[in-house]
Structure 1
């Protein structure tokens, strides 16, 4: 099945891509714009399976880490390009209060909660329909799923723009007060997946503030200045330039694993990454108040696409989000969603070459 394309619209095609253990059919959607940029999205977990963009010579490469088959995505994997929720990142103590009522969610990172629990949104089959320029995925999370209150109805749309942007739009509604924090967990390598580490990539993040964390990477509630430190990317720096510095936040994260506090409201610049070797540039814009930089510090011997083996720091993530542990930090931007309200968020990963 496919949606006809106009000169301005991206083409959309879908194929059967296998079945879950429960026998549910999974689809793989291919989005392609007039410039030859291509994204492959599956409705199992909303994974970005492939993202092919051109370098400065016009050569295309797949710039996201992942797997060749559905079976590998169904097995244990490090969140390669999935929809992450109901609550992306960490919730300290795997509990929080709303209106004085305490809720306990799955503790799947020691005593803490991370990325939606044991069976988060990355492990769900989403309903899918083709839309102009892309695909819309929808999933209803039951009241009490992973301990979260309220039935949460979610839609996530992936669209490919004619100026080489992969746009992700998130929406959610609830029938009880709950918390929600949705993101995508793509690991990028602008030289092409399987090409080695990303330490030579140059990164700019337009803020000199992060949310401070403890040794378990749970936010303390403080927003601190990182001006002039190895975490400061307000001017371009290679990711590997200072990653091994004897600096407490880097030691805690075993590299970069930090939430940067973005200034302003509405759509804003979150980060720019450039691979000097290929000339590929990725610009990230978002309506979210934060972006988590993660440098693949825990990747080890992962058998990925095309026989490639992914190791430590072979990919990096820029996860647009609300701040970690916001349900327990009243001073942070609120993640509480109430009946009658709609959670809405947009992030665009835009590609060019120079």
Structure 2
């Protein structure tokens, strides 16, 4: 049975989440004299009805693996498809559908645990994940560690849908900057077409732009119905800001800092029909996801990096969402 958890700190930040999917339900931050909701979300009892990974922790491998197959050192592993022929976000019964266990909880921090069996969704080896959500000042810190019993690709991310307006609105009125000079062009199913390419025209987000000003003005954006692309961060291994999102009224900014090499920018292109808190179903483009991660389809494509975790080593993902009112 799902457990509901509320965290809060002296800075006035409050986070609500549940153990099912380790999914976030609400995140409010102080803006002026009021609290502003910065996440989309649904009622806990409606979570099972949605198919858009609403604020969930996704894995064992976030993003897409082409044809739902893994090849590694002469072995072939067939995964459970979850988007056409491809494996998206770990399969049909990925980590977003699992019941996580609470290891420890403080007023401003909670640590959750998930065990994934050998062969889970076709992935080799057991996988044990420790996930911490912590409020630090006006930051939400997400820290993930994982180990495996056999070589396995591991790639987790928070699939949070952000809207900094504090109300239901079109997120294309937000401004976005992504500190990346390369991205992955994709086919119609979101599988990378090639090695990373230089950002160009509407796909160049190195300077802050309103999303609507770039809207569907590039063949890649037309094909995906918006942004759904992995950017290779120029900030990898540094403390620089990887991405910056600003509300339509410019009263709230969110900065993203991460130790991950990529960030998937997804503008909620297929959000329509998902349940909301207010009983009116969500529409497309009401939230934007900034999913820090390893690169899609990399388990079978060494040119995109090596996501294979080996026994005796630790996967460590850390992402910080920093909120700045002003």
TM interval, shorter chain, is over 0.9
What's the offset of the Cα at 1:74?
2.2
What's the offset of the Cα at 1:41?
1.5
What's the offset of the Cα at 1:62?
1.5
Match among 174, 179, 186 for residue 206 of structure 1: 179
Instruction: Say yes or no: does 1:50 pair with 2:26.
Output: yes
Instruction: Say yes or no: does 1:257 pair with 2:228.
Output: yes
Distance 1:251 1:96 in 2: 30
Kindly report which structure 2 residues correspond to 1:263-274, keeping only aligned pairs within 5 A, or say none: 263=234, 264-274=236-246
Kindly report which structure 2 residues correspond to 1:247-326, keeping only aligned pairs within 5 A, or say none: 247-263=218-234, 264-277=236-249, 279-326=251-298
Q: Secondary structure at the residue paired with 1:188?
A: coil
Instruction: Say yes or no: does 1:59 pair with 2:46.
Output: no
Kindly report which structure 2 residues correspond to 1:72-111, keeping only aligned pairs within 5 A, or say none: 72-111=46-85
Q: Which runs of 4+ in 1 moved over 2 A?
A: 74-77, 129-133, 266-269, 306-309
What's the offset of the Cα at 1:278?
5.3
Contiguous gaps of at least 5 residues in structure 1: 1-24
Distance 2:302 2:274 in 1: 38
Partner of residue 128, structure 2: 153
What's the offset of the Cα at 1:199?
1.1
More helix by share: 2
Contiguous gaps of at least 5 residues in structure 2: none
70-79 vs 314-323, which moves further: 70-79
What's the offset of the Cα at 1:153?
0.6
Distance 2:166 2:90 in 1: 29
Q: How many pairs were matched up?
A: 324
Distance 1:29 1:259 in 2: 31
What is the root-mean-square deviation in Å for CA atoms of aligned residues? Answer: 1.4
Partner of residue 109, structure 2: 134
Q: Secondary structure at the residue paired with 2:203?
A: coil
Instruction: Say yes or no: does 1:117 pair with 2:91.
Output: yes
**Cα contact 1:275–1:281 (8 A) shared by 2:** yes
Q: Give the TM-score, by structure 2 length.
A: 0.96
Distance 2:273 2:79 in 1: 31
**Cα contact 2:275–2:282 (8 A) shared by 1:** yes
Q: Give the TM-score, by structure 1 length.
A: 0.88
